[in-house]
Amino acid sequence: MGAEVRTNVIKRNGKEAVFDIAKIVNAITKANDSVDKLHRMSEYQIRAVADNIARQVGEATHAVNVEDIQDMVETGIMQMRGYEVAQRYVRYRYKREITRKSNTTDNGILSLLEHINEEVKQENSNKNPIINSTQRDYMAGEVSKDLSRRVLLPTEVVQAHEEGIIHFHDTDYYAQKEHNCDLINLEDMLQNGTVISETMIERPHSFFTACNVTTQIVAQVASNQYGGQSFTLSHLAPFVEVSRNKIRNSVIAERKECGDALDETIINKVVERRLREEIRSGIQTIQYQLITLMTCNGQAPFVTVFMYLDEVPKGRVRNDLALIIEEVLIQRMQGVKNEKGVWITPAFPKLIYVLDEDNITQDSKYWHLTELAARCTAKRLVPDYISAKIMKQLKKGSVYPCMGCRSFLTVEDSQKNPDGSYKFYGRFNQGVVTINLVDAACSSEGDMERFWEILEERLELCHRALRCRHERLKGTVSDVAPILWQNGALARLKKGETIDKLLYNGYSTISLGYAGLQEMCVRMTGKSHTDPEAKSFALAVMQRLNDKCEEWKAAENISYSVYGTPMESTTYKFARCLQKRFGIIPGVTDKNYITNSYHVHVTEQISAFEKLRFESEFQRLSPGGAISYVEVPNMQQNIPAVLSVIKFIYDNIMYAELNTKSDYCECCSYHGEIKIVEDEFGKLVWECPNCGNRDQNKMSVARRTCGYIGTQFWNQGRTQEIRDRALHL
């Protein structure tokens, strides 16, 4: 009955199982037995169909969905001219589909509880699906997806999402009226007080207390949204002086009580020593609480910490901010201990360090912080870097953090602070819909005129989908998340007041994502977008996305913005959909992933400096957010090289990062890079190069996948992408 096939099949409940040819034979035989003998297929024909399907499954580069196999069965029967048999098979399949749709969530939820849903297990590299709280979140997500697909979303949006033409992000949170990501207005909450769980939190009386309150705010915010959040250390900096004065008064009182001389030099030394200890304790509180806190969605808060010296005035407060930044970098470089007591790389909080005139050259005042940042990057993958010089050119003179890993607010003349500066903290993003540019190219079959027509159609489909996100948030009352809408994180609305005014006039953004610019160019021009002949086409497509956002914004007063999507599991989904629709096209659909946003393909040989310079042109056309990276080996013994990349970032690109390696094997205590290899069934697995350990439960692997660090491993598509990455330095 043909050679044994060991390729896996993804069942409807998400569980992976080994392909079984006997099930194909049995299914065809049942349909065959139900028709008249005159119209039946021979046993030889049935086996021929089954063997042909087994061959197709065996040649597939990824686990095949059961629906794909059923399509193959129908086609195979028809090719054998078994028309009546095919009709019975289709009828039986349709009846089973109707039965399943009567309750679409049962199998998905049950498979979650049994820990056998492979798609969910590898959907998010920072969620452990074994944990009860994570399962609870996923179970709610299954219900939300079901409601969204059957009731809440238009059929055309659902169909396009399922076919991989677009991706409607976070359908597991769509039923609830939750937004995506934001910049916490920590300054307002700390300086003017806030309310957490109906408890009044007044202005902190010390730096340590401010840090403690900050972690509680972050946890509360994370539990009331589904995307990333960011806060800036500059909002904590004023509390260093509060603690300094408090400590000083305490030291003077102690010395008076002991009869010691009130020597100013001695007092200052004691005060500053105790102050450094408090800063150390405060930052340790932030680091450990943000890592160990678990929000209602079963993961540590997805939070980014922003480090920008020029957010505060020169003088003592800026020096205090420098002390805070220094302590953050020192503690992050050390890492955190795992359950075995080994120092490892944590996923969060993500750190962003701003490069500016006062820290970019060796003779600048805060150069020591940049050197420290370089050492931290080499060991722990963070911080990432924003160039104040380039950002000011692109953002009307402003420098501010992204919301989470890469989503940037637009600079709006309608949104300003009382002092006339542009307002960013307290604003948010409504959601994301991503267009699959590769599908648009493949659908046009390389015809340029047809491509632009299809692109226009698909963009309008994305527009309708984005309006669904916007309309879903309209009418939301502030009471659903007091920490966000009433108590200062995003606004100070009244009880019962809706958030509608925050959805218009530039207060919040909504994102048109895009993916696969590189593969799109290969399909349309035969060349990568790094080739001068294809680059102009790629830039023209990017410009078209921006033009559409401006068109929609002008008509609706909603801030649409182009966004370089951080696809984690979607890159695999899009690849599978493309292969199903168009087959294997060399350089286009022949991988289990497609390229994130505008990035140079991971396999392309290009230097770090060439890559950053090239991608900077495309980053400018992603005003709603994007990040570039360079892939480097272990750089802990080559800090000057890291610093040279950092200086290049400052002069050439707004936002970039270095992807280093920082892994650990519990079996042999190996520190270094754990490799990706193929097992005997062709599945990609992680293996310690020192002892051969393949047990993921006995290794710590940290890889940057979407602008943030993942530590819970990845699906096969993303794993292949990580394996294929060429070094740029």
Active-site residue set: 180-181, 403, 405, 407, 429, 563, 568, 707
Cα 379 to Cα 261, 382, 513, 660, 726: the distances in Å are: 46, 8, 31, 7, 20
The whole-angstrom separation of Cα 421 and Cα 410 is 14
Greatest Cα pair distance, the chain, in angstroms, is 113
Of 33, 650, 38, nearest to 387 by C-alpha is 650
User: What is the number of alpha carbons within 13 Å of residue 590 lying toward its C-beta?
Assistant: 9
Nearest CA among 302, 346, 300, 287 for reference residue 180: 302
Indicate the burial class of 613 (C-beta count within 10 angstroms; 0-12, 13-18, 19 or more).
Answer: middle
CA distance 7 to 54: 9
Can you say whether residue 291 is alpha, beta or left, with left for phi > 0 and alpha for psi between -120 and 50 degrees? alpha
Sign of CA dihedral 422, 652, 355, 348: positive
Residue 448: how many CB atoms within 10 A of its CB? 12
Pairwise CA distance, residues 502 & 492, whole Å: 11
Nearest one of 70, 78, 67 to 53, comparing CA atoms: 70
Place of tokens 């892994």: 663
Residue 122: phi and psi, rounded to 5, are: -115, 20
> Contact at 8 Å (CB) between 192 and 264?
no
> Helices (DSSP H) in 80-131: which residue ranges?
83-101, 106-113, 118-121
